Amino acid sequence: MLARASTGRPGARAALIVGLVAAMLPDLDSLFFRTRLEYLRYHRSWTHSFLVLPVFALLVALGARIFLRGARLANLWLFAAIGIASHILFDWITSFGTMFWAPLSWKRYSLDWVFILDPIFTGIAALSLAGAFVYRARGRRIAAIGSAALAAYIGFCALLHTRALDAWRKLDHPPEGARVAVLPQLLSPFRWLGLSQHPGSVHVAFFDIGPFARGRPHPVPPTRFSEILRGLSDFYPPPERAEIRTFAEPLDSGPLEAALRLPDVGVYLAFARFPLATLHPESGGATEITFEDLRFLPWFSGPWGRTTRKGFAREAFVYRVLLDRDLRPVEHGFIVRGRRG
């Protein structure tokens, strides 16, 4: 859509094709990861970097020129640059984190404005492209209107993020200088997850700042896929009725210190923004330790391993370490399916 808005009808075909290919290019980095840990460490790094963008755009333009012989290389480079830049910027507005100064800096940046799958965001672009295809003579104008509408929607989400963050601070009263965030949630720009770091604990609450927020005192977790959407709003009350849950961080201990010394755990913790460790004593003096990033806490349950879950289990990026009685690692890796017990 953005590439189509940048050119008139004679270059529309090149803009659409090159913009489409280039916009998908950054996520090709996933093909080079052998493990989930490498994915957390390197995804959205060098292929999502503004510093590498000019080179990637040139490679795409040179490849496109083989098939689009009549197009100018400068125009093809522009279409490719727009596609890649849009990918980087639209990843930035989510909560995963994007390292857009790699390889000079591996710091992750995230605005926490828009959920990773947003039907309104996608719908604006899809309808604009459909309109530009049907009414080709006015395709550029339609794509430009769609681009403006998308920018307006992102700005709206940014304003809601500011409101949600203010509501969460008034609700939770986090300590001065504490790590605080509100994260967008599924299917509504009004639903948020509030997180804040307190001494020895993490505070969490789901809430809705929209005009139709309702929520229920004791919502029933879904047990079937068909129940997920039907009861979703039950878990998001208005801020004044939101329930703050407190998850205590474990006290320093030999098993915890041994797990924290593992290089792979260090990689995980460098990615996690709100990590929570849970220790489970096992038979024979062994200890199981799980690490979970509360950014990915499901709305219908507590952290992995803390509660008895019925129905669906959300286990995004849960890292498990099993130590023997001598604090030597017996097993360690991500939990990819199943649940404890």
Is the confidence at residue 333, as pLDDT, over 50? yes
Is 118 part of a structural domain of the chain?
no
Query: Can you give the pLDDT at residue 231?
Result: 83
φ/ψ (deg, to 5) at 72: -75, 140
Is it true that the peptide bond before 255 is cis, omega within 30 degrees of 0?
Answer: no
Question: Tokens 């104008």 identify what position?
Answer: 141
Strand order in the sheet with 329-334: 275-281, 287-293, 319-323, 329-334
Is 282 part of a structural domain of the chain?
yes
Residue 283 lies in domain: 249-334
* Band (341; pLDDT cuts 50, 70, 90): very low
Each residue of 164-194: pLDDT tens digit?
Answer: 999 999 999 999 999 999 999 999 999 999 9
Does 285 share its domain with 195? Answer: no
Does 209 share its domain with 309? Answer: no
* Band (7; pLDDT cuts 50, 70, 90): confident
Maximum C-alpha span of the chain: 75
Does 10 share its domain with 70? Answer: yes
Each residue of 231-244: pLDDT tens digit?
Answer: 889 999 999 999 99
Looking at 218, 247, 276, which one is the last position of a domain? 247
Tokens (6 digits) for 76: 């093809």
Does 107 share its domain with 6? Answer: yes
Is the confidence at residue 339, as pLDDT, over 50? no
